[in-house]
Copies of this chain bind each other. A is one copy, B any other.
Amino acid sequence: MAEAQKEDKLANKKITTRAENYSDWYLDVVEAAELAEHAAVRGCMVIKPYGYAIWETIQKTLDAKFKETGVQNAYFPLFIPKKFLEKEAEHVEGFSPEVAVVTYAGGAELKEPLIVRPTSETIMYDAFSRWVQSYRDLPLLINQWANVVRWEMRPRLFLRTTEFLWQEGHTVHATQEEADERARLMLGIYKDLAEELLAIPVIPGVKSEGQKFAGALRTYSVEAMMQDGKSLQFATSHNLGDNFSKVFGIQFSDSQGNKQFGWQTSWGLSTRSIGALIMVHSDDNGLVLPPQVAPIQIVIVPVWPKENEKEAVDLEVKKIVEEIKNSKNFRFVVDNSDKRPGEKFFAWERKGVPLRLEIGLKDIANNSVVLARRDTAEKKTVKRDVLLPEIEKLLAEIQKNLYGRALDYRNKKIKEVDNLADFKKEIANGNFVLAYWCEDKETEAKIKEETGAVVSCIPLEQTSSEGKCVYSGKLSKRKAFFAKSY
């Protein structure tokens, strides 16, 4: 009994509301939905089965999209010789403070310490310099699914963890144009993944010089807005130019037999995307998941207030289960636990299951069931003979509604301004600011200092007009998005 009470207490722990404390709300949602927990090692996390199932769906979807464009998977070592990381000046400067170092192994001090990979440009490009010899070897299109380590001082589940899971794609091309096209192609794949699978609207753009990847010529990203108005970098795609190929000697003979350096890209998406998924859709009752990525799309809850009703209800549930199994690939569970229906509803709501199917004796008599939506809390009585098409329709509607809702919310919070006073006011109000910007590094630093906002991205879509920089007043060709950032 004591155990059962302890369990109930945990299961019923109140979720902090977003208004009370957004940051506590986030952690409460992660805990209540059993997505992940802090590990014994500071900064690291344990991704629990329910959270990992989300990652598996992201992986599967993205991997298929990559392969359609000719990308092949491979695997490179976890350890990077220190001298490799040091070869590219900006790159080592960018990563040095974050690295973990193995100094002792196999029972002895190592002669050369090994870096636990924070990213794999250097170790991969050492191999690429052997793999690429002729223009016939190009383009080289490689991806790896792996864990990486960047020492994190202020860890936060999914959003910032010392170890995280990701994929990193790395390509080599014969021309700079082709490399830039590839970087944009992969950006488009990330955009589709965010919008179609996760129902997260994103803005494709270019990072400012101050925010770009260490060693890149140009960093593209897709940026999402969280409900607190902060921006989150959902995924990045870098045009590396020939910075790394010159350092690692990635050279090919062109069709005339002349030696040329390769043009490169790298692109990645991490378990951080799950943090975005949580923050974009969830509410004060817990997690909300779009059906396409939900590990469980439907929970079936049999309702038998009296013990003697159980048999008839369970029989009908079994029929429904058979129907679903025989016709559709819905991911579903039946909650047969001995909790009361209300407790069950509460628990599955917190786990963000998109659709709940309730069925009791009265429903059976009416030849119907009740379907309840997680996104809108609407309930609908549905005749048994149209149950499967209704479920299919509702799941599609929920997916669409979540995307539309997130898009409306974001668009309302985008404020276009042309002066610093308005800029400061809108940032303070938790909005995204769109404004002309001169793209100077110093301006960027000053804006951050004075407002707390950073350049989220310079959106790829721009009108052809020009205007005055919101900070420096200089004539500027492009607008940028500014926001506080994760």
Q: Which chain A residues have a beta carbon within 8 Å of chain B's beta carbons? A: 1-4, 6-7, 37, 39-41, 44-49, 52-53, 55-56, 72-81, 84, 96-107, 113-114, 116, 123, 126-127, 133-134, 142, 146-147, 149, 151-153, 162-163, 165, 253, 257
Contacts and interface: CB of A to CB of B under 8 A. Distances in A.
Given A41-B77, A56-B73, A74-B49, A103 B106 contact: no
B77 A39 contact: yes
Given A47-B75, A56-B73, A127-B46, A147 B149 contact: no
Given A46-B75, A49-B72, A7 B133 contact: yes
A149 B78 contact: yes
Contacts of A146: 147
Copies assembled: 2
Contact of A52 (B75, B96, B101, B107): B75
B102 A100 contact: yes
Given A47-B75, A101-B105, 5 more contacts: A7-B134, A52-B73, A55-B75, A78-B116, A101-B104
Given A49-B142, A100-B106, A163 B78 contact: yes
Contacts of A151: 105-107
Among A39, A107, A146, the most chain B Cβ lie within 10 Å of the Cβ of: A39
Nearest to A48: B74
A305 to B, nearest CB: 22
B114 A77 contact: no
A6 B104 CA distance: 40
B76 A39 contact: yes
A99 B107 CA distance: 7
A105 B114 contact: no
Given A46-B74, A126-B40, A104 B103 contact: yes
Contacts of A79: 41, 44, 100, 162-163
Nearest to A98: B106
A84 B40 contact: yes
A72 B53 contact: yes
A337 to B, nearest CB: 8
Contact of A73 (B6, B49, B102): B49
| 5 smallest beta-carbon distances between A and B, as pairs | A106-B151, A49-B72, A44-B77, A100-B105, A47-B75
Nearest to A146: B147
A96 to B, nearest CB: 8
Contacts of A73: 49, 52-53, 56
A153 B133 CA distance: 32
Contacts of A98: 106
Contacts of A253: 3
Contacts of A142: 49
7 contacts: A2-B257, A39-B76, A41-B79, A44-B78, A48-B74, A101-B102, A106-B152
A114 B134 CA distance: 43
Contacts of A76: 39, 46-47
A37 B34 CA distance: 40
A97 B77 CA distance: 21
A397 B2 CA distance: 61
A413 B132 CA distance: 44
Most central of A39, A77, A96, A101 by chain B CB within 10 Å: A77
A242 B229 CA distance: 50
A257 B1 contact: yes
A127 to B, nearest CB: 5
A71 to B, nearest CB: 9
